[in-house]
């Protein structure tokens, strides 16, 4: 279609609104109902075969039909779709206003509260589309329109998916990747979180006036999006500090660390707007997390304290029944019985003295046996075992028999404390059990509390033979860079510019065990691309493993990583991306 087109299908062309990589947008009128619409034609590559053009048109209609089911205030409504002279087109809601990119171009930095309101409304529209299973894939300021009432609406749903098709990538590059997510650049699986990353880039651009990832070439921009954190927000008062956590979460490289959906994002944006109201009423430096102190749980505790239940309990203790039993009459009874107790005690003492005195008298007279009671005093002689000379005589004591002329002492025999004549002065020995002492070893060895000190051979450190990782980088691509990570640490970053290609080898010594490897290659010459791969290898003591990295551009950009057997030279492909 030429520039002077007057009609497409049944729609009358009124004006040309713009032109992009996907086609041309016209302002048109539907003569059947007199409605102004935006008419967008979809361009196709002239080099496409006819069969691929038909396949492309069929796919376009499927995408447009899915997007046409979206009815939301923040999404442009699709009215119609058809084909004219082999060119597919769609008729959609005409938004009278300007694009967000035009607003940023005119104003520069958008006031942060206006930016939050626009992002919040856009997120509500995206949430509705994502719930329907539709991912936009191309969120950028050009695809967010602001009408005269300040209502943001998202356009081009269903169109962006066609940009990623190989049908539109033959020999041409569609736009720049300023707002693409890392998984889009790495050609990973896309879901709603990819749109949230792109929306975060738009949010950053509105607040600062520039993009968070900048570079001089498409390749460098792609590298920063995949590997580099976003630039910090300005530290002036124009942007509240509590917006940075929201931006950081939207711009996470790993989709699993971003917002899981728009609902928690919208809740945080609402809190950010509410936090601004509090800060204006109080002090600008007050942080939003301090607000939860306002619930005031103290009044409830004070209300629970006034019940005088604790003070009422003493009233239950004050009744005088417990002290009542100790009436004064009881002490009088005890005092009247006291003399009887005293008399009984005296009588008992007298009786005890008489018994002890009589017993002592009978004892002294020998009524309890023995001669003068000396045989009773012998028990203290148990200390005989302590004398070294008495122990050998013990067998003689066992065989001793009293003499025939021995007579029992009579009652009237005087007790002078001496034995009859002819007897030794030593009282007759009495057989007593000899208390055998425990046999104790002369030296009781003690078990050592701690093990003996190690020998010199044992303390000698064990020498382990290191393993080796050989790296081989081979490619025919000129102007390509290689970044090699080993166990999370960057070990190599090189740029190769040889026109005929590059072959490079290097060896790394590592301890035995499992090691993680990550490889990133980036081709800067047109058409640029980035590929990366991660994997683990296990190395035994003294082991040797060679890894070969082969980036190539034909038949399509890809990265092949192989494992080479150092003995046979056979190769095994680890991954191909």
d(CA 520, CA 293): 48
Displacement of CA 194 from its chain's centroid (Å) = 24
- 183 touches 255 (CB < 8 A): yes
Type and span of the H or E element at 91: strand 87-93
Alpha helix (H) ranges present in 262-392?
262-281, 298-304, 309-317, 329-364, 374-377
CA distances from 130 to 122, 183, 202, 262, 562 (A): 12, 18, 19, 9, 39
Q: Which two tokens stand for residue 328?
A: 């004064």
- 24 touches 41 (CB < 8 A): yes
- 111 touches 58 (CB < 8 A): no
- 145 touches 100 (CB < 8 A): yes
Type and span of the H or E element at 490: strand 489-496
Q: Where are the beta strands (DSSP E) in 181-316?
A: none
The residues assigned a catalytic role are 138
Close Cβ partners of 394 (under 8 Å, ≥ 6 residues apart): 431, 434
- 551 touches 533 (CB < 8 A): no
- 182 touches 253 (CB < 8 A): yes
Type and span of the H or E element at 12: strand 11-19
């Amino acid at each position: 279609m030429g520039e002077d087109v007057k009609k497409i299908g049944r729609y009358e062309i009124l004006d040309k609104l713009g032109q992009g990589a996907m086609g041309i947008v016209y302002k048109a009128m539907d003569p059947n109902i007199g409605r102004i619409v935006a008419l967008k034609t979809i361009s196709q590559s002239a080099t496409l075969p006819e069969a691929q053009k038909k396949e492309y048109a069929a796919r376009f209609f499927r995408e447009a039909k899915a997007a046409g089911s979206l009815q939301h205030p923040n999404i442009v409504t699709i009215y119609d779709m058809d084909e004219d002279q082999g060119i597919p087109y769609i008729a959609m809601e005409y938004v009278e206003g300007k694009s967000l990119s035009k607003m940023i171009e005119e104003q520069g930095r958008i006031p942060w509260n206006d930016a939050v309101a626009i992002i919040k409304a856009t997120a509500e529209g995206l949430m509705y589309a994502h719930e329907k299973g539709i991912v936009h894939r191309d969120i950028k300021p050009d695809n967010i329109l602001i009408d005269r009432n300040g209502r943001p609406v998202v356009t081009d749903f269903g169109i962006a998916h066609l940009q990623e098709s190989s049908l539109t990538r033959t020999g041409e590059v569609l736009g720049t990747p300023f707002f693409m997510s890392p998984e889009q650049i790495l050609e990973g699986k896309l879901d709603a979180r990819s749109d949230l990353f792109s929306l975060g880039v738009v949010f950053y651009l509105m607040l600062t006036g520039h993009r968070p990832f900048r570079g001089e070439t498409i390749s460098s921009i792609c590298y920063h999006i995949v590997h580099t954190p976003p630039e910090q927000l300005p530290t002036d008062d124009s942007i509240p500090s509590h917006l940075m956590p929201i931006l950081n979460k939207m711009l996470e490289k790993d989709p699993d660390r971003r917002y899981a959906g728009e609902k928690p994002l919208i809740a945080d944006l609402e809190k950010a707007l509410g936090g601004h109201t509090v800060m204006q009423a109080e002090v600008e430096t007050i942080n939003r997390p301090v607000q939860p102190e306002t619930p005031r749980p103290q009044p409830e505790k004070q209300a629970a304290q006034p019940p005088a239940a604790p003070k009422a309990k003493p009233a239950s203790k004050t009744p005088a029944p417990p002290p009542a039993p100790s009436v004064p009459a009881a002490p009088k009874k005890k005092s009247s019985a006291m003399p009887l107790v005293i008399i009984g005690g005296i009588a008992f003492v007298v009786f005890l003295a008489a018994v002890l005195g009589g017993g002592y008298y009978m004892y002294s007279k020998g009524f309890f046996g023995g001669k003068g009671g000396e045989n009773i005093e012998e028990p203290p002689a148990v200390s005989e075992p302590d004398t070294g000379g008495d122990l050998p005589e013990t067998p003689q004591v066992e065989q001793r028999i009293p003499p025939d002329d021995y007579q029992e002492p009579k009652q009237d025999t005087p007790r002078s404390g001496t034995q009859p004549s002819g007897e030794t002065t030593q009282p007759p020995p009495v057989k007593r059990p000899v208390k055998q002492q425990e046999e104790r070893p002369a030296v009781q060895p003690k078990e050592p509390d701690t093990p003996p000190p190690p020998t010199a051979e044992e303390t000698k450190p064990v020498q382990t033979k290191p393993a080796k990782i050989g790296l081989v980088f081979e490619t025919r691509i000129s102007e390509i860079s290689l970044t090699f990570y080993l166990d999370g640490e960057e070990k190599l970053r090189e740029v190769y510019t040889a026109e005929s290609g590059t072959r490079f080898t290097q060896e790394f010594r590592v301890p035995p065990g499992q090691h993680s490897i990550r490889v990133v290659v980036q081709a800067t010459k047109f058409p640029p691309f980035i590929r990366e791969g991660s994997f683990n290898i296990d190395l035994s003591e003294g082991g040797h493993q060679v890894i070969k990295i082969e980036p190539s551009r034909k038949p399509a950009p890809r990265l092949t990583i192989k494992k080479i057997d150092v003995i046979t030279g056979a190769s095994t492909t680890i991954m191909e991306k």
